[in-house]
Amino acid sequence: MKDSIRITSKGQVTLPAWVRQALNLREGDELMVELRDDGTLVYRPIRRRRLSEFAGALPATRPFPGTSTVRDEVGRRLGEAMREAPVVD
């Protein structure tokens, strides 16, 4: 399918609704723009996913020790790192 797009005085363009629907684009989504040697302009959606979407993607290799145990260990290691850090005057 083809369509024409007009450039505004601010250099902005509006993608036709059928393009947004076909690419499942919503307000705030980003597109990668590529200008090829032959003058062709290519737009590709940049798919960003939230880290939370990856939860459970990999199998656990060991049981989770619990939130308080993890926090205690992080605090202990952070304290060790702070004690070992060089003092800058």
CATH code for the structural domain at 1-47: 2.10.260.10
Query: Phi/psi zone of residue 24: left (φ > 0), alpha (ψ -120 to 50 degrees), beta?
Result: left
Kindly report the pTM of this predicted structure: 0.48
CA neighbor of 20 nearest in space, from 37, 36, 3, 38: 3
What amino acid is encoded at 39 in this protein? G
For residue 1, the model assigns a pLDDT of 82
Could you report the per-residue pLDDT of 20-61, keeping only the tens digit for each? 999 888 888 899 999 999 999 998 988 877 788 888 888 888
Give the sign of the dihedral formed by CA 75, CA 78, CA 83, CA 84. positive
Q: Are 42 and 34 in contact (CB under 8 A)?
A: yes
Given the structure tokens 């059928």, which residue do they identify? 18
How do the domains of the chain map onto residue ranges?
1-47
For residue 89, the model assigns a pLDDT of 66
